[in-house]
Chain A
Amino acid sequence: MRVALSTSGQDLDGPLDSRFGRAARFLVVDTETKAVEVVDNHCSLNAAQGAGIQAAETVARAEVQAVVTGHCGPKAFRVLSAAGIKVYLSTAATVRAALAELDAGRLSESTGADVQGHWA
């Protein structure tokens, strides 16, 4: 499975960004091969509006099946759902720790947005 994790860092030891739409980038991790790619999210970070939608499009184009982030707003959730991407929320400090939680089955799939739009 390919998973996108929001981060302000560059690698697995970078911090998990609690924001989805306005995270600086995503680490896309293949849970089978452990391969890691960095996907930039600066366009969304600097967008006046629609950051969550744009970020969701970005991870959908990266062909992930799941997203791990801190919070997910309503518009982003709608786009992710439409693309068949599962959303997992985590409070882990680092991307590596969040990934470990996911691997261990400690994260449950979100059924809706957990924050309002323009939360961050």
Chain B
Amino acid sequence: MIVGVASGKGGTGKTTVAVNLALILAEDRDTTLLDCDVEGPNCHIFLQTETRSRETVGIPGPVVDDVRCTACGACSQICRYHAIVSLKGRPLLFPELCHGCGGCMLVCPVEAIQEVSFETGTVETGVCGRLTLVQGRLDVGHPMAPPVIRAVRKHAPRDGLTLIDSPPGTACPVVAALRGVDCVVLVAEPTPFGLHDLGMAVETVRLLGLPLGVVVNRADAGDSRVLEACAERGVPVLAEIPEDRRIAEASSRGIPLLTALPEFRPLFADMWQRIVDLAQGGRAES
């Protein structure tokens, strides 16, 4: 089973939920946590893992043979991402914008373009007891997260239990992190921004056709509009984590919530049960 933990707004507590679920699950079974927030992976802050392996991730990009190129500009015209630009003379390359579609190679009439791999990030695997943490890290200066996210997701075991810490938002990186999971947990805070961005995240997850539920974090910090919106849209609320200064203090020291405050164990155990029901319900429906 693969469970994605996501949110519309950033900083609502995705990592808190993902890490603490992973810790409680890994007490009695093999669990894999995929940190797919490759622009700012942070699960490792809370987990003392021992690094086992590291691999680099590359994206395909074009190189041009200056001798063959006739500067016809066909490559430039087909590239909608402006990764290859031909105005006067040989094309200029912006490999960081290339999406690797290969269109430039196809349209080049003199076969002057070849595809090579440009390094864009790394994937690191670490182990801590029965928990395996796989985290992706996008290299500084590279705008495209999805190839690194897909490389991280390849580490999900075929039959095991996997949790995904997704990037925030509703754009391509989120879709790459969530596509094909068994269910999605959206973490939301009860603020006007939290409510607005939760609405967008719900729409995104529904477009992906995935079962979803909401965890309200810092539940008594705002008002009840997030709960009302969930009820209106028929989205189950899986848990409410209260506003508690001690949680923030533990987080700021890199201590997992459940290590610092074991009294929250029943809340997370109950949340997990509801997540399992949600994922199985989704399977039964489909």
Name A's B-contacting residues (CB within 8 A).
47, 49-50, 53-54, 56-57, 60, 75, 78-79, 82-84
Check if B94 sits within 8 Å of A50, measured CB to CB. Answer: yes
Which residues of chain B have C-beta atoms less than 8 A from A84's C-beta?
A: 88
CB distance B82 to A60 under 8 Å? Answer: no
Q: A78-B92, A82-B92 are in contact. Are A50 and B87 (CB under 8 A)?
A: no
Q: Known interface pairs A49-B81, A49-B143. Does A60 touch B87 (Cβ–Cβ under 8 Å)?
A: yes
Instruction: Give the CA-CA distance A56 to B88 in the complex, in Å.
Output: 13
Enumerate chain B residues within 8 angstroms of A49, measured Cβ to Cβ.
Answer: 81-82, 97, 143
Chain B contact residue count (CB 8 A cutoff): 12
**Sampled A-B contacts (17; CB under 8 Å):** A49-B81, A49-B97, A50-B83, A50-B94, A53-B82, A53-B85, A53-B94, A53-B97, A54-B82, A57-B82, A57-B85, A60-B88, A79-B92, A82-B87, A82-B88, A82-B92, A84-B88
Asked if B92 and A50 sit within 8 Å, CB to CB, the answer is no
**Overall SS of chain B's interface:** loop
Least Cβ–Cβ distance between B76 and chain A, in angstroms? 8
Do A75 and B94 contact each other (CB < 8 Å), given the known contacts A50-B82, A54-B82? Answer: yes
* Cβ-defined contact, B87 with A79, below 8 A: yes
Q: Tell me the complex Cα distance, A83–B85, Å.
A: 10
Question: What residue in chain A is nearest B89 (Cβ atoms)?
Answer: A82
Taking CB atoms, residues of chain A closer than 8 Å to B97 are 49-50, 53
Given the complex, which residues of A lie within 8 Å of B94, measured CB to CB? 50, 53, 75
Residues of A within 8 A of B92 (CB): 78-79, 82
Which residues of chain B are within 8 angstroms of A56 by Cβ–Cβ distance?
85
Closest chain A residue to B93, Cβ basis: A78
